[in-house]
Amino acid sequence: IISRLEKLKDNSPGQWGKMNSNQMLCHCADQLRLANGEKHSVFSGSLLTTTLLKWLILTILKAPKGKVKTVKELKQGAGGSAPTNFENDKKLLIALIDNFDKSFETKKFFVHPAFGKMDHWQWGRLAYTHLDHHFRQFGV
């Protein structure tokens, strides 16, 4: 993942969606902040999202290109962290990826806004698929 991220440029064009590459860095960083408890979102899930949908997304389904709505805490221009400097935002995302495992040394679960309580493996799987989705969006 890090080697792919290193290839991302400030002017890397998006294949779909509305974000530019710097906004994507901040969006992905915000997701990792949800995973490690630094950022919080109101739980709005249901029995369906905390069971079947969570299982499908973590094991089978791939995110469709440009079709998934996100919570406002991750949405650029509506509560997500605003981009500052491309290289600094990239370094910040790398640091969040590098420190991901440490978050779970003292706490077993963090709450996802739709999927509810998720453990280290579940957050790791979701983070990987989320990063992969957006890296493919920008061709890295």
Residue 112's pLDDT is what?
94
Quick: pLDDT tens for 37-56: 899 888 999 999 999 999 99
Residue 126's pLDDT is what?
94
- Which stretch of DSSP H or E encloses residue 112? strand 110-112
Distance CA 26, CA 130 (A): 13
Quick: pLDDT tens for 58-80: 999 888 787 677 887 888 888 89
Distance CA 110, CA 28 (A): 17
- pTM, entire model: 0.91
- Cβ neighbours of residue 69 under 8 Å, at least 6 residues apart? none
Distance CA 21, CA 85 (A): 11
Residue 37: closest CA among 86, 90, 105, 83: 105
One-letter amino acid for residue 60 of the chain = I
- Which stretch of DSSP H or E encloses residue 56? helix 54-59
CB 73 within 8 A of CB 32: no
| DSSP structure class, residue 53 | I
